[in-house]
């Protein structure tokens, strides 16, 4: 049995300050016995305005945010899912929301570029258009990512992806036992749908879900929902952070229990479409 951790943050516009706080939260997760740790979406930067991301966007393989993730995984000997960071496209005019996963030796294990961009009017006064600065990740097999870890085969997804069950079914077909969902859900949509969507993805794929979230009010005025949680394959919430702006939750991943559930309730084998 292995232990995973979901980290919740209230990130701001100062990258260095966010990394210092992330360092302390990762240390807390490791002290609680976590072997795999998931940071939230935008853990290194929640900007005052979206164009500020261009000033901190990195090229793959270089930059202080990637160096931080590599150093953290190696220092603590953990598998680290680095939420998201902005990585430049080849054209250099936009960037990807990229989730980077690091091995315990500090090496890059995988990269997933967020496929579904949040271009949504949440209300008459609250709207978002990620495609203005972000490029969507490819829907080809090289951007559908599952990674074998001692905790279990882990599929990488990001935030708004959780509304698209076909992505999770593809990852399930690739053998995913854990589904990682680093997020920055808005307070409005989070209150309405966050728990329902996460539990649905766990139940329909008979997989663990680790959802790390941003929480609270940020420099731009944006409010995020928080409620980071870890869910088991039967939909049971193993741990949750509610009102806390930052914190860590941990849970044990029992693969024997997962396989027992899948054997007793073989819905994945009953698919017809």
The answer, yes or no, to whether residue 115 has pLDDT greater than 90, is yes
CA 195 to chain centroid, in Å, comes to 15
Domain contains 273: no
Q: What is the pLDDT of residue 273?
A: 86
Q: Report the number of distinct structural domains present in the chain.
A: 1
Is position 228 within any domain?
yes
Q: How far is CA 213 from CA 5, 34, 38, 99, 102, in A?
A: 12, 17, 10, 14, 19
What pLDDT score does 190 carry? 97
Asked whether 214 and 9 are in contact (CB, 8 A), the reply is yes
Catalytic residues: 41, 114, 159
Question: 70 with 101: CB under 8 angstroms?
Answer: no
**Confidence tier at 130 by pLDDT (50, 70, 90):** very high
Which residue segment(s) compose the domain that 176 sits in?
Answer: 2-268
* pLDDT bracket for residue 13 (50, 70, 90): very high
> For residues 81 and 29, what is the distance between their CA atoms, to the nearest angstrom?
13
Residue 55 lies in a domain: yes
At residue 77, what are phi and psi to the nearest 5 degrees? 65, 40
Which of 225, 169, 217 lies closest to 195, judged by CA?
225
CATH code (residue 241): 3.60.110.10
51 inside domain: yes
Q: Does pLDDT of 17 surpass 90?
A: yes
- Spatial distance between the Cα atoms of 229 and 248, rounded to a whole number of angstroms: 10
Cβ atoms of 215 and 225 within 8 Å: the answer is yes
SS3 230: strand
**Residue 109 domain-assigned?**
yes
Q: How far apart are CA 181 and CA 23, in angstroms?
A: 20
Buried b / exposed e across 219-249, counting CB within 10 Å, b at 16+?
eeebbbbbbbbbbbbebebbbbbeeeebbbb
Residue 104 within a domain: yes
In a domain, 96, yes or no: yes
Give strand ranges (E) for 157-207: 178-180
Tokens at residue 155, please? 């599929």
DSSP code, position 11: -
Largest CA distance in the chain: 52
Question: pTM of this prediction?
Answer: 0.97
* Angstrom distance (rounded) from CA 87 to CA 79: 20
Query: Mind listing the pLDDT tens digit for each residue in 158-176?
Result: 999 999 999 999 999 999 9
Q: What whole-number distance in Å separates Cα of residue 185 and Cα of residue 248? A: 17
**Residues contacting residue 47 through CB under 8 Å, at least 6 positions apart:** 13, 53, 219, 220
- Residue 227 placed within a domain: yes
Comparing 124-133, 160-169, 226-235, the range with the smallest average pLDDT is 124-133
pLDDT at 243 over 80: no
For residue 242, the model assigns a pLDDT of 86
């Amino acid at each position: 049995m292995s232990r995973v951790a979901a980290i919740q943050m209230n990130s701001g516009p100062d990258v260095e300050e966010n990394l210092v706080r992330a360092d302390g939260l990762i240390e807390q997760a490791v002290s609680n016995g976590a072997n795999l740790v998931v940071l939230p979406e935008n853990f290194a930067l929640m900007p005052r305005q979206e164009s500020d991301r261009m000033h901190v966007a990195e090229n793959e393989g270089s930059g202080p945010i990637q160096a931080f993730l590599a150093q953290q995984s190696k220092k603590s000997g953990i598998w680290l899912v680095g939420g998201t960071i902005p990585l430049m496209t080849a054209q250099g005019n936009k960037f990807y929301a990229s989730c980077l996963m690091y091995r315990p030796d500090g090496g890059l294990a995988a990269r997933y570029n967020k496929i579904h961009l949040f271009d949504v009017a949440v209300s008459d006064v609250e709207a978002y258009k990620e495609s203005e600065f972000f490029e969507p990740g490819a829907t080809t097999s090289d951007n559908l990512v599952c990674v074998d870890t001692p905790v279990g085969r882990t599929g990488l997804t990001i935030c708004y992806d959780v509304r698209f069950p076909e992505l999770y079914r593809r990852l399930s077909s690739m053998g995913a036992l854990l589904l990682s969902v680093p997020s920055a859900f808005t307070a409005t949509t989070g209150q309405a749908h966050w728990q329902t969507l996460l539990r649905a993805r766990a139940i329909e794929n008979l997989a663990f879900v680790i959802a790390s979230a941003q929480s609270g009010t940020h420099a731009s005025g944006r409010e995020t929902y928080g409620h980071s949680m870890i869910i088991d394959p039967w939909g049971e919430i193993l741990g949750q952070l509610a009102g806390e702006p930052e914190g860590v939750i941990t849970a044990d991943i029992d693969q024997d229990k997962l396989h027992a559930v899948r054997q007793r309730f073989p819905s994945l084998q009953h698919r017809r479409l």
